[in-house]
Amino acid sequence: MPLIPPGTLDEHVKVTLVTAAVTAVVVLLHYEGLRWLARRYGPRTHHARERHRHRRGFIGLIFALLLLHVLEIWCYGIAYYWLEHQPDMGFVHGEHGIRTLFDAIYFSATIYTTLGLGDLSPVGAIRLVSGMEAVTGLLLITWSASFTYLEMHQHWTRPDQHD
């Protein structure tokens, strides 16, 4: 039983390299984004006035995390768009497929969030990108959720409740 279809080694190697590069960029982007957010919204003081400021700033944290995820979706979307326009890399099948960058971003968002609406589906070597994006998106979304929980716990408890 062959690992990949005969005669497709080149396209699978190229897609694997693109997948690894985009995933590395997205994970590093997420790490640096969370690191910046931790410094910006990290622990300071627990005086009532300072805690109130943090509570207002928490909305900024949520929007920053959303922006971070959108940027990561765009990274994968650009990769899909580029691969879609390369010979023999596979394609995304659907009523219209990927004709525009917006189509690629939409497809990426459905994969990243593991929503998978089913109106578009990858065919060929490009499937590797979507599989890796789903795993990465799930991991990064849960990382953001954990980060958010820790920030909420840090700033939304009374000083006498801290460990």
Q: What is the pLDDT of residues 121-142, one digit of tens each?
A: 999 999 999 999 999 999 999 9
What is the model's pLDDT at position 158?
59
Q: Decide: 64 and 33 in contact? Cβ < 8 Å.
A: yes
**What mean pLDDT comes out for the span 80-84?**
96
Domains and CATH numbers, the chain: 9-157 (1.10.287.70)
Per-residue model confidence (pLDDT) at position 156: 67
CB distance 111 to 134 below 8 Å: yes
Instruction: Answer whether residue 48 shows pLDDT above 90.
Output: no
Instruction: Grade residue 51 by pLDDT with cuts at 50, 70 and 90.
Output: low
Q: How many CA atoms lie within 13 A of 147 on its CB side?
A: 24
pLDDT at 117: 84
- The pLDDT of residue 9 is 92
pLDDT tens digits, 93-120: 998 889 999 999 999 999 999 998 889 9
pLDDT confidence bin for 60, thresholds 50/70/90: confident
Integer angstrom CA distances of residue 92 from 41, 95, 108, 117: 40, 10, 11, 13
Q: Whole-angstrom Cα distance, residue 6 to residue 75?
A: 30
CA dist 70 and 113 (Å) reads: 11
pLDDT at 133: 97
Q: What angle do CA 67, 137, 77 make, to 5 degrees?
A: 70
Residue 52, pLDDT score = 56
What pLDDT does 102 receive?
A: 96
CB atoms under 10 Å from CB of 42, counted, come to 11
